[in-house]
Amino acid sequence: MSEAHISDMATRRIAGIVAPTVEAMGYELVRVMMTGGRRPTLQIMAERADGSGMGVDDCAEISRTISAVLDVEDPIAGEYTLEVSSPGIDRPLTRLKDFRRYAGFEARVDMAAPIDGRKRFSGRLRGVDDADRVLVETEPGVQEALPFEGIARAKLVLTDELVAASAPAGGADGE
Query: Which CATH number characterizes residue 126's domain?
Result: 2.30.30.180
pLDDT level of residue 7 (50, 70, 90 thresholds)? low
Cα-based torsion angle of the residue sequence 160, 164, 165, 167 in order, rounded to the nearest 10 degrees: 140
Predicted confidence at residue 97, as pLDDT, reads 94
Residue 77 belongs to a domain: yes
51 and 74 fall within a common domain: yes
80 and 118, same domain (yes or no): no
57/100 same-domain check: no
Residue 36 predicted with pLDDT over 60: yes
User: Which of 85, 109, 128 is at the close of a domain?
Assistant: 85
Instruction: Name the maximum alpha-carbon separation found in the chain.
Output: 53
User: Does residue 2 form part of some domain?
Assistant: no
Q: What is the tally of structural domains in the chain? A: 2
Q: What is the pLDDT of residue 5?
A: 41
Query: Where does a domain end: 85, 113, 129?
Result: 85
Paired residues of 152 in beta bridges: none
**Cα–Cα distance measured from residue 40 to residue 14, given in angstroms and rounded to the nearest whole number:** 14
**Whether 52 contacts 36, CB under 8 Å:** no
The answer to whether position 169 is within a domain reads: no
Q: Are residues 111 and 151 in the same domain?
A: yes
In a domain? residue 44: yes
Instruction: Answer whether residue 3 shows pLDDT above 50.
Output: no
Q: Where does a domain end: 85, 112, 139? A: 85
DSSP 8-state secondary structure symbol assigned to residue 172? T
Residues 6+ apart with CB under 8 A from 105: 124, 125, 156, 157, 159, 161, 162, 165
Domain that holds residue 139: 96-164
Residue 40 domain flag: yes
Q: What is the CATH number of the domain that holds 32?
A: 3.30.300.70
Residues 21 and 74 in one domain: yes
19-48 burial, b at 16+ Cβ within 10 Å, e below that, comes to: bebbeeeebbbbbbbbeeeeebebbbbbbe
Lowest mean pLDDT among 72-81, 114-123, 137-146: 72-81
